[in-house]
Amino acid sequence: MKVWLIDHVSGIPADTTSEGRGVRRGVQSRLQNWFGQVARHRKARNGRPQGHERNIEVAWGPAGSAAGPYDLVLHFVPSQPGQNPPVMGPWREAVLQTRDDLVTENLSSRQRGFSGGKTLGLSIGSQRVPALSLVIVLYDAQMSRENMRISANVESLSIVAFHEAAHNKDRSASLHISGGGGVFADIHTGGLGSAARPNNDNIAFFAERIWNWGPQYIVGGSMSPVSPP
């Protein structure tokens, strides 16, 4: 299974800079650690489909046709102050490119203002399934030292990405109620005294759902796959 991190000119410094590279490496490394804990949990082992390895790989880059039926795609998009609702790149692209009228209707009617992150669910047949996860990037550039800026942004972006990834796999929409609080709380404020990493209950909740199937929007295409594996 693979977790694809897609950067839509997101407000993170360019990957040609040391800061941009540091943030991307940091987010990837932190998420790799957390997803590794999920994959090793007994609930993930018990639910793994036959023929699939337990390893979860996290990587930046376009998913394309290589995305598997259980993969996750997380879109990092820029915060756009003053726009309500915001015009989100992959959201708009999905509306324009999908060829399923029902999916198009769901996508175009549910866009609204939000911050932090958002996962959109769609009705496909008789199922209500997640399909498009966004991490809204409002880059914190307040600190004068580059290493502190990298550390602060890695923490905040990683938490939002992991939170939205869990929404993407949780068909019951119970994350905020039964997810164990911490980084799965309804409102995560960040900063001193708040959760900076998943707790044991977060990991167990996610592990029980990590092998759920759900269609994912692939950049330049439609939803893939559009039917269960």
Q: Write the pLDDT tens digit of every residue in 153-167.
A: 999 899 999 999 999
Structural domain count of the chain: 1
pLDDT at residue 29, as a whole number: 98
pLDDT at residue 5, as a whole number: 95
Look at residue 228 and tell me if it is in a domain.
Answer: no
Q: Residues 88-109: what's their mean pLDDT? A: 52
Look at residue 213 and tell me if it is in a domain.
Answer: yes
Question: What mean pLDDT, rounded, does the chain reach?
Answer: 81
Q: How confident is the model at residue 130 (pLDDT cuts 50, 70, 90)?
A: confident
Best CA proximity match to 176, nearest among 165, 187, 168: 187
Look at residue 226 and tell me if it is in a domain.
Answer: no
- pLDDT at 191 > cutoff 80: no
- Residues in Cβ contact with 43 at an 8 Å cutoff, skipping those fewer than 6 apart: 204, 207, 208
Q: What torsion do the CA atoms of 146, 149, 155, 156 make, to the nearest 10 degrees? A: -150
Q: How confident is the model at residue 58 (pLDDT cuts 50, 70, 90)?
A: very high
- Residues in Cβ contact with 49 at an 8 Å cutoff, skipping those fewer than 6 apart: 70, 211, 229
41/215: higher pLDDT: 41
- Residues in Cβ contact with 216 at an 8 Å cutoff, skipping those fewer than 6 apart: 63, 67, 71, 72, 73, 131, 132, 168, 223, 224
Can you tell me the distance from the alpha carbon of 109 to that of 106, in angstroms, rounded to the nearest whole number? 5
Q: Residue 69 sits in which domain range? A: 2-219
15/224: higher pLDDT: 15
The single residue listed with the structure tokens 């509306």 is 95
Angle at 119 between CA 117 and CA 125, to 5 degrees: 170
- pLDDT at 110 > cutoff 90: no
Q: Whole-model pTM above 0.85?
A: no
